[in-house]
Structure 1
Amino acid sequence: MTDELTEITVVGDDKTGIVANITTLLFERGVNVVDIDQAIRDGMFRMTLRADTDEMVCTEATLRDALTELGDDLGVDIQLRFPTDREAKRIAVLVTKESHCLQAILESYATGELDAELSVVIGNHDDLKPLASQYDIPFVDVGDDSGIPNEDQILSVLDEYQIDLAVLARYMRILSPKIVFRYEDRIINVHPSLLPSFPGAAAYRQAKEEGVRIAGVTAHYVTTDLDQGPIITQRAFDVPDDTDVETIRNRGQPLEADALLEAVQLHLDNAVSVHRGRTGLRSGTDSSGYQLGMPADVETTQPDNPVDNRENLIDMPSESTQDIAND
């Protein structure tokens, strides 16, 4: 049902009257609000409305103009996406200096495997501009001499290219609510750990210092909580005894690209849904074309016994039975 609904995103400074004014405008034009979600972070207000516009008493252009005018009056940014708007698939890739994830995305795009238009690469350094140029993809440097990005410029570029999905291909900066709120469930990041373990910086070093035997990578939707967004795909790999951080990184980086590409394709295929901070495959999705976690052949190496046979435990003392029921 969500795919057939119009999405209205409101972002701006928190103040009274925003919800009432917008919902009143929609009601007066015959728009039925089906779902509404609100959040406030660092004084920034975000509201996402999903509405049925099939029986509205105005044109799409009229509704868009009315919401834009109301947003100007309220001092907030209102973005409107009708179901037909979401049929286009335009991607922006955000990068810093590491090339491996961008390289994988560019190659997939060049071979036609990536079913979308790769519109622009945005960097907070210009190190990867030559790589983007090899594939004739525009590159926009939004960073100052220290690599601090201009987020207003990022938003301007995303708007200019009418971006549907932003992909963080080892973009080593935290996005503020100003961007995240506007692109909720439309920003995908790859993190070099099996989240929720080792969030934040230097994840491979964290894995080494904690002495893990299995490390991994995670592609996830970005939220305002660092590295805590809904997980889409993961990959895992063994950590050899007494290995160093560089070896762990070399093992992980190809899997970063692999997990990120799969997460992007899942999003483009509209195969993944988000509910209460968790992802799931949409009903009717054929999962055989995806590798969400470990390869299927890993199952053949997993022991399948022994496991608790709870049917045989019914004669245990009542206290123990109660403990089992509460597991």
Structure 2
Amino acid sequence: MRIVITAVGPDNVGLADPIIHYVTSLGANIAEIQMYDHDEEAVFAMLLRIELENARLDELQAAITRIGQQTNLSIRVWAPEARQNCPRLAICTTYRPEPALALLRAMRDGQIKAEPAVMIGNRDACRGLAEQFGVEWRNIGDDQGRADDDKMIDVLDEFEVDYVILARYMRVLPASSCWKYAGGRIINLHHGLLPSFPGIRPYHDAFSARMLTYGATCHFIVPELDAGNQIINQTTFTTPPGMKLDDIIRLGQEDNEPRCLAEGVRRVVDGEVQLHFHRVIAVGS
């Protein structure tokens, strides 16, 4: 069984040792380990991916939790195989409903074999969509749309989420949040082709470059690294010369972006791809 352990907390000496010693005492094989010390913020972060036969997840979780309490670390234990037949998704939104709607329809119709555990928004624009599909809704934003990132993590933990889907969620997650759900658990939809058109206005940038092909990118979120090497899926559409920018954006938002995200999430849920050492690999290749 593949198990991902993440640990985030105040920097100190010897934080990784008790976790590593415990899992190796169980006979676990360490397949991946990453550790970062954020000196300026005095924050420690670690990702540990192990392989363990006959794993007792409840016992492992309890032991790792005790280690977290002793070291003052926020620790999470996740095994993708535990709910591989129907993982639980959190769909995060801001304004645009189309990507979230595509996911909800695909799950309802069995195209994505997952469960919408909760919808999270920093604004209430998509609350009606959650109610339409009978999905729990949580607003983590203030009246200006500023997100409470700690509250988001609390909601993800509360609903025992396997994957976090940023479905045109127009806020940047802090590094600490990304580390807490690291290991290929956060999937983002970018409304442009990466790496060529990053930023918040990719349609405008591509239009200014006189492009006739536009696109969207579904990628894993990786803390503190550019998203260019973590691409899961990309879709494009071609426009005739002279098409107005507003019409291009409408085509992208209403058709191409939702299609891109739905297929990307399906690939992850079906186990076709996974993240390993910050790179997307095809499973079984």
Q: Same fold per TM (> 0.5)?
A: yes
Alignment CA distance shift 1:7-1:280 (3 Å): closer
Q: Aligned partners of 1:102, 1:147: CA distance in 2, in Å?
A: 18
Matched AA of 1:219: C
> CA–CA distance in 2 between the matches of 1:107 and 1:82?
26
Q: How does 1:1-327 map to 2 (within 5 A)?
A: 4-40=1-37, 43=41, 44-54=43-53, 60-82=57-79, 84-87=81-84, 88-184=86-182, 185-224=184-223, 225=225, 227-228=227-228, 230-253=230-253, 254-283=255-284
Bigger Rg, which one:
1
After TM superposition, which residue ranges in structure 1, 4 or more long, deviate above 6 angstroms? none
CA distance in 1, matches of 2:78, 2:276: 20
Name the CA distance, whole Å, in 2 between partners of 1:97 and 1:60. Answer: 38
Q: Structure 1 279/35 Cα, relative in aligned 2: closer, same or farther at 3 Å?
A: closer
8 Å contact 1:222–1:229 — kept in the other structure?
A: no
CA contact (8 A) 2:121 2:141 kept: yes
Partners of 2:211 and 2:275 lie apart in 1 by 30
Query: Which is worse superposed, 110-119 or 22-31?
Result: 22-31
Deviates most, 97-106 or 116-125:
97-106
Q: Structure 1 residues 17, 105: closer, same or farther in 2, change over 3 A?
A: same
Deviates more, 1:265-274 or 1:39-48: 39-48
SS of the residue 2:102 aligns to: helix
Q: Which has the higher contact order (CA 8 A, sep 6+)?
A: 2
Displacement, 1:245? 2.3
Per-residue CA deviation, residues 75-107 of structure 1 (Å, 9 max, x unaligned), is 111212346534350001000011111121122
**Deviation (angstroms), 1:115:** 0.8
Q: CA 1:31–1:275 in structure 2 vs 1: closer, same or farther (change >3 Å)?
A: closer
Q: Is the 1:218–1:259 contact (alpha carbons within 8 Å) kept by the matching residues of 2?
A: yes
Does the 8 A contact of 2:222 with 2:278 survive in 1? no
Matched AA of 1:263: G
**Relative to 1, partners in 2 of residues 1:69 and 1:143: Cα closer, same or farther, differing over 3 Å?**
same
Q: Give the aligned partner of residue 321 of structure 1.
A: none
Gaps of 5+ in 1: 285-327
Contact 1:101 1:260 in 2 (8 A): yes
| Cα distance in 2 between the residues matched to 1:235 and 1:60 | 38
1:91·1:116 contact (CA, 8 Å) conserved in 2?
yes
Q: Offset of 1:276 from its aligned partner?
A: 4.5
**How far 1:12 moved relative to its partner?**
1.8
Amino acid of the structure 2 residue aligned with 1:79: R
Alpha-carbon spacing, 1:29–1:277, altered in 2? closer, same or farther (3 Å): closer
In structure 2, C-alpha distance between the alignment counterparts of 1:26 and 1:277, rounded to whole Å? 22
Give the aligned residue type for 1:35. Answer: E
8 Å CA contact retained: 1:234, 1:259:
yes
In structure 2, what is the Cα distance between the partners aligned to 1:218 and 1:200?
Answer: 12
Q: Secondary structure at the match of 1:218?
A: strand
- Alignment TM-score, normalising by the size of structure 2: 0.89
**Unpaired runs of at least 5, structure 2:** none
- Tell me, in whole angstroms, the C-alpha distance in 1 between the residues paired with 2:27 and 2:284: 30
Contact 2:274–2:282, Cα closer than 8 Å, also in 1: yes
The alignment covers a number of residue pairs equal to: 279
CA displacement at 1:68 relative to structure 2: 0.9
1:151 Cα deviation (Å)?
0.9
Counterpart-to-counterpart distance in 2, 1:77 and 1:240: 52
Distance 1:50 1:276 in 2: 10
Task: Report the AA paired with residue 66 of structure 1.
Answer: A
- Please give the secondary structure, in 2, of the residue aligned with 1:200: coil
Cα distance in 2 for partners of 1:141, 1:208 equals: 34
